[in-house]
Amino acid sequence: MKHIIVGTAGHVDHGKTALIRALTRIDTDRLKEEKQRGISIENGFAYFDLPSGRRAGLIDVPGHERFIKNMLAGVGGIDIVVLVIAADEGVMPQTREHLNIVSLLQVKRGIVALTKSDLVDEDWLELVTEQVREELADTFLAEAPIIPVSSLTGQGLPTLTAEIDRLTEKVEAKDTRAPARLPIDRVFTISGFGTVVTGTLITGILSLSDKLEIMPDKIEVRVRALQVHGEKVEKAYAGQRVAVNLAGVDVTEVRRGDVLAAVNTLQTTLMLDARVRLLASASRPLQHRTRIRLYIGASEVMGRVVPLEQETVEPGESALIQLRLEEPVAAAEGDLFVLRYYSPMTTLGGGTVIQVNPRKKTRFKTEQIDALRIMEKGSPQHRLLQMLAAVSASYPLRDDFTKAHSEFAAIEELIEQLLESEQAVSLTVDKKEILLASSYLQALEIQVEEILQRFHRKNPLRLGMAKEELHSRILKQTANKVFAALLLIWLSDERIKITGSTVAAYDFKVQLTAEQTSLYQEISEKFRTAGFEPPAKSDLLTEYAKRKDLPSILELMQEEGSLLRLTDEIFYNKDNFDRAEQSLFHFFQDHAEISLAEYRDLLATSRKYALALLEYFDTTKTTQRQGEKRILRKRN
């Protein structure tokens, strides 16, 4: 069975909500403020049964220009638009903007409802109908039926309902075989149930107990309950409005614009390559680095536009661009989007995503532009890239990938083209070549940067996160050598920096306050002047009990390498430790073995410190214990 979503569009106070109420007996204005002001602020949702027996979901969008972003969050999944125009006013500014938006989102079918027709006479109604037909002449609604209706008297409602039913026969069924994907347009909590999200399921099927993830934050969740049109169901299908009760996430962790998706099917990105088309009515050209608002799915993010093949994009023109965003979004190739100017907030155009997580592109670079055009057309190269992206998380060997896709003629040549155009990346590990889609690597880079930034916010006095911890957080199933190869790529791309065994975001620097700098210097001097009998950690914590940042200062010194930890209590200034080690090597030039007492006397220190040093040398395989003495291990 096909599942249909019908959406309204039109100017504020033209009767969209009243029309839906008349059709469904459902009031979509649920907010107190909406009822007080008499206008819709948020998207409203309803449903009704058509004469054919099909049930259609209805989305009531706000018409006021201040709430366009709310309107955009709800119209992405509609199949049929009912353009609502009040008969007593005719076409108004938001009529045109709403029509532009649904056109940019490639809605193909619609009807015009002339509401409040009971308020005008026949001559006026005929005049308004002609005006509307002229306005729609160059749009997808040029041949759409124009139906006078009255939500008050019921005039025209049966005709409108029958026309909607007729159009549903032409709507293509949504893809239920594709992975589940639901842009979230509403988030709330119900006492005793927890977090609930709603949205239009644009692909796939949702079932009870499904394991999914909230993107772009990649939060793992489970489906606890499902509702469609207010009724509990065990499955929800693409094309339905769905309320999903989620387990595993707090309501504060989810926001409108996030996407509920099957695990590992969507990518998080800060950049998109796309084809954009500017409206002929756009108020100004789209220039390099123009700041824009991107609406994709149910999300709104700020970003900048980089035209790739021309200096500016003029109104009415189409062009290849790269969108560089200020916040990550979850997206897929083929997604439709709308662009509005940052200020004033008017719609300028929209387009289609060609590539998710692309490399940063250089303007006017012919080979990059040609590669993007090839991807746009869906060439064998592009199809092979999609297949590579689908398996990149398994780190395929080039030989295995080539054999698995032998149906492609000249596959080696195609792979070389992907590598040359930087759409794919090659890693060499243990003399074996691994192939990765650049989009996968880019998504991983974003994930690494987010993990590191969170770490830095929680640990401002740490140089970075331990490599082992980062490895376990993102790629715990991946071999150490593969992880090391990835680190080298991110290092060369200036995404990260490495200090010893720690990894940090490239632009991160430890910033000590004046008080912390003073404490750092004081503690450093204590260890330096203590020679081979350094102060115990517990004694320092007692002495500086009021300084809660002392443990962090000690940890920073260790990460920088100026302080060496032998035990939980004993730390050595690095220069003093080096002198202790050199003394040991010098002793072994004339002796085959050394006892604890001999080493203690050699350093003129106590037994406790000599033992700690020798045991440390044992663990680093500098020395080897034999009975009560130690010998020097052979050094490579």
Regarding whether 130 and 80 lie in a shared domain, the answer is yes
Average pLDDT over residues 590-594: 93
Regarding whether 589 and 576 lie in a shared domain, the answer is yes
- pLDDT tens digit sequence for 113-161: 999 999 988 999 999 999 999 999 989 999 999 999 998 999 999 999 9
- Residue labelled with tokens 């730390």: 571
- Residue labelled with tokens 């842009």: 183
User: Which domain range does residue 536 map to?
Assistant: 519-632
Regarding whether 108 and 14 lie in a shared domain, the answer is yes
Regarding whether 145 and 17 lie in a shared domain, the answer is yes
Regarding whether 159 and 13 lie in a shared domain, the answer is yes
292 occurs within a structural domain? yes
Regarding whether 161 and 31 lie in a shared domain, the answer is yes
79 occurs within a structural domain? yes
- pLDDT tens digit sequence for 238-279: 988 899 999 999 999 999 899 999 988 888 889 999 999 999
Where does residue 384 rank: exposed (0-12), middle (13-18), buried (19+ CB within 10 A)? buried
**Is 90 exceeded by the pLDDT of residue 225?**
yes
pTM above 0.95, yes or no: no
483 occurs within a structural domain? yes
**CATH number of the domain enclosing 281:** 2.40.30.10
Q: Mark which of 227, 262, 297 sits at the end of a domain.
A: 262
Regarding whether 507 and 386 lie in a shared domain, the answer is yes
Average pLDDT over residues 457-480: 88
174 occurs within a structural domain? no
Average pLDDT over residues 79-101: 89
Quick count: other Cβ atoms within 10 Å of Cβ 418? 22
219 occurs within a structural domain? yes
- Residue labelled with tokens 């021309």: 310
Q: What is the largest CA-CA distance in the chain?
A: 117
- Residue 636: per-residue pLDDT: 52
**CATH number of the domain enclosing 538:** 1.10.10.10
Question: How many independent structural domains does the chain possess?
Answer: 5
Q: Mark which of 482, 511, 540 sits at the end of a domain.
A: 511
Mean pLDDT score of the chain: 88
- pLDDT tens digit sequence for 60-88: 776 445 546 666 766 777 889 999 999 98
| 436, 439, 445, 449 alpha-carbon torsion, rounded to 10° | -170
Contact 244, 70 (CB under 8 A): no
Q: Mark which of 456, 484, 511 sits at the end of a domain.
A: 511
**573 beta partners:** 563
**Is 80 exceeded by the pLDDT of residue 40?**
no
176 occurs within a structural domain? no
Regarding whether 491 and 570 lie in a shared domain, the answer is no
- Residue 232: per-residue pLDDT: 92
**CATH number of the domain enclosing 49:** 3.40.50.300
Contact 619, 611 (CB under 8 A): no
550 occurs within a structural domain? yes
**277 beta partners:** 318, 350
Regarding whether 202 and 158 lie in a shared domain, the answer is no
Regarding whether 465 and 586 lie in a shared domain, the answer is no
Quick count: other Cβ atoms within 10 Å of Cβ 450? 16
- Residue 73: per-residue pLDDT: 63
301 occurs within a structural domain? yes
Regarding whether 236 and 153 lie in a shared domain, the answer is no
**322 beta partners:** 273, 306
Regarding whether 614 and 550 lie in a shared domain, the answer is yes
